[in-house]
Structure 1
Amino acid sequence: MIKFQNVNKKYDNGYEALKDINLTIEQGEYVAVIGLSGAGKSTLIRCINRMHDISSGSLMVNDVEVSTLKGKEVRKLRRGIGMIFQSFNLVNRISSLKNVLVSFVPDMSMWRKILGLYTKQQKIEALEALDRMNILDKAFIRVDQLSGGQQQRVALARTLAQKPSIILADEPVASLDPITAKQVMTDFQRINEELNMTIIINIHHVDLALEYATRVVGIRSGEIVYDGPASEVTEQILEHIYNGKLEEELSGN
């Protein structure tokens, strides 16, 4: 469970990114966070794994107060939370398999890290993660030779290999063409349903959020203005979230 209680985030320059956020996300939910650029979407999800620190309030992840964690405790938190980025964050010069194996590095001894020595079990688990993402045939191909959609699947496989209970995705389909974006969103949906994994996606494309997520959280100017089932979102609610810019957002511009 993820629980925000009266959470505020104010940056050093004085900008208030989050204002009195109260939000509870249960294990196994598939949540899309929508809103205009600068609304606070990325800040919201990046507070969950302590990429950003909250300024005040309480943020609990699996009964642990995130803001009080230090050092190894923060690293342990992040091991249970996968993170997917728009830019994939892969090492282009190595194969898909080696990119997935990177997920095991934090738990390896120093000499194994230096020599790049992975166990047989780690290699099996990495291959299984690629297979789950239907990209096993690309295991030994350098990722810079893959399409954008294939690279995002490798990134997903890398995240799955670390066996998280939560996946955060920051604009994961923003750089993909419409057909590939739908395929990746379907991958997230399948992972959510098959593994009962919590998926929280910060997404610019409203139509994809409504089609694939089961719950939508709308943010405007750092405040939650809508939180409910995707099936119940109406045009009037979207207009409230986007403050008159709905048509522009729906078109993806």
Structure 2
Amino acid sequence: MIEFINVGKTYPNNVRALDNINLKIEKGEFVAIIGLSGAGKSTLIRCINRMHDISEGELIVDGVKVDALKGKEIRTFRQRIGMIFQSFNLVTRISVLKNVLVSFVPELPFWRKVTGIFSKDQKIRALTALDKVGILDKAYVRVDQLSGGQQQRVALARTLAQQPDIILADEPIASLDPVTARQVMDDFTRINRETDMSIILNIHHVEMALEYAERIIGVREGRVVYDGKAEDVNQDVLDFIYNGKTGSPEPDGREEKYYV
């Protein structure tokens, strides 16, 4: 479980990125975070794995107070959380398999880090992850010979090889064409269902968010202004998230999911 309790984040330039965030995300949920650029979506998910520190409040993941972790504790904690970026973050001049094996570097003894030798179990885990995302046949191909969609799948396989409890994805389909984006979202859905892994996406493609995610969190100006089922999101809800227009507050007429 991920729990935000009165969480705020202020950057050194005094920009208020998050303001009084209160959320609970249970294990196995598939959540999409939507909102305008600059609303605080990326900051929200990057606080979960301590890429960003919170300024106040508490952030708890499976009973661990994330904001209290230090040094090696942070590195150990991050091994439980996979992170996928829009830019893929791959080494394009080496093979697909080697890119996936990179996920094991933090847990290697020093001599393996120096020699670049991975264990048989790690290679099996890497190949299994590639198989799960449908690109096992590309294992020995250089990454720069792959399409954008295939590269994003390599990034996803690298994350799966870590066997994390949570996957965070920051605009994972922003640079992909519609067909490829749908393939990647299908991968997320299948992984979520087969492994009960929590998946939290920051995404601009509203139609994709509504189709694939079970839960939608709407963020505006650093605050959560909507939190509910994807099936309950209609145009009034979207207008409220993106424009601040109240309209009809909610499909069922209740207002408690909206707060500013």
TM-score w.r.t. the length of structure 1 is 0.96
Q: What CA deviation, in whole Å up to 9, does each residue of 1:120-165 have, x standing for no partner?
A: 1111111011001110000000011000110011101000000100
Amino acid at match of 1:169: A
What's the CA shift string for 1:177-214, capped at 9, x where partnerless? 01111110111011100000000000011000000000
Question: Structure 1, unaligned stretches of length 5 or more?
Answer: 246-253
Q: Distance in 2 between matches of 1:126 and 1:57?
A: 38
Equivalent pairs counted in the alignment come to: 245
- Give, in whole Å, the separation in 1 of the partners of 2:197 and 2:180: 22
Deviation at 1:92, TM superposition (A): 0.4
- What is the aligned partner in structure 2 of residue 196 from structure 1? 196
Q: Distance in 1 between matches of 2:26 and 2:124?
A: 31
Distance 2:114 2:204 in 1: 39
CA distance in 1, matches of 2:72, 2:244: 45
Given residue 112 of structure 2, which amino acid in structure 1 is its aligned partner? R
Question: Partner residue of 1:122?
Answer: 122
Are 1:39 and 2:39 matched, yes or no?
yes
- Which residue matches 1:248? none
AA at the equivalent of 1:239: D
Question: 2:179 maps to which residue?
Answer: 179
Superposition map of 1:207-226 within 5 A:
207-226=207-226
Q: Is 1:139 matched up with 2:143?
A: no
- Structure 1 match to 2:248: none
Which deviates more, 70-79 or 236-245?
Answer: 236-245
Query: Are residues 1:48 and 2:48 paired?
Result: yes
Q: Give 1:244 deviation, angstroms.
A: 6.9
Residue number in structure 2 paired with 1:169: 169
Q: In structure 2, how many angstroms separate the alpha carbons of the residues matched to 1:77 and 1:235?
A: 39
Find the aligned partners of 2:125 and 2:11 in 1 and give their Cα distance. Answer: 40
Which residue is equivalent to 2:253? Answer: none
* CA RMSD, 1 decimal: 0.9
TM-superposed CA distance for 1:88, in Å, is: 0.3
| % same residue | 69
Runs of at least 4 residues of structure 1 off by over 2 A? none
CA deviation string 1:82-138 (max 9, x = no partner): 000000000001000000000111000111011100111111111011001110000
